[in-house]
Amino acid sequence: MPDFSDEAEGTHPTKRETRTALLARRRALTAPQRAAAAARVQAGLTELVRRLRPARMTGYVPVGSEPGGPELPDVLRAALPAGAELLLPVLRDDLDLDWAGYAGPGTLVAAGRGIREPDGPRLGRSAISDAALVVVPGLAVDRRGLRLGRGGGSYDRALARVPATTLTVALLHDGELVEALPAQPHDRPVRAVLTPSGGLRTLPDAPDVDPHTSAGRTRVR
């Protein structure tokens, strides 16, 4: 997701400074580094999706230096079992997220803020609540699962609709899983991260993570 300039979260100086530093670090990655990271992230997600076989999952179209590469939706769609749904976000005027099914690269259209969205029917904000696997962007995640996004609050609102037992995974570059991030009351945790070198890693310190749930069983490292 593109920069949102802290507009939904107010003026939290530490968050702004952390976000600025992380974005600068991403922009410094070379094209070969980004391509290598995207390939590893795609491989890790493919393995996860084929193992979990979700009937419905969410993804997104990475832009710029976001890990996963712009072809990520096609990779996820190919890994899903026959008849399964891949939902992609549709940004609403209020910065909340609606969802639509992904039917292939020809169905993506340019939207505001540099985002590409599916052109199919909107399924409503609550469509994410039925997903068995939720894949989200982020600039960093800490050991508690708290995620730093681009500042619009879109995914915090969306994640609030996801059941506690659902596996939520943030895609990161190496070095973006950190000890602690500045947080605010509206921030919603994720249950796992996936990085190019570290692969899938569940976060046992994240709230609501039960080691006996499906999220806990996905720990591979």
Domains identified in the chain and CATH numbers:
13-217 (3.40.50.10420)
pTM of the model: 0.87
CA 52 centroid distance within chain: 17
pLDDT of 213: 41
User: For the chain, which ranges sit under pLDDT 70?
Assistant: 1-13, 113, 207-221
* Per-residue pLDDT at 136: 97
pLDDT of residue 111: 84
Q: How far apart are CA 162 and CA 179, in angstroms?
A: 24
Q: What are residue 89's DSSP bridge partners?
A: 99
Over its C-alpha atoms, the chain yields an Rg (Å, rounded) of 16
Q: What is the pLDDT of residue 185?
A: 74
Predicted local confidence at residue 158, as pLDDT: 96
Spell out the residues 6+ positions from residue 207 whose beta carbon is closer than 8 angstroms to its own.
144, 145, 189
Residue 108: what pLDDT?
93
Report the pLDDT value the prediction gives residue 12, as an integer from 0 to 100.
56
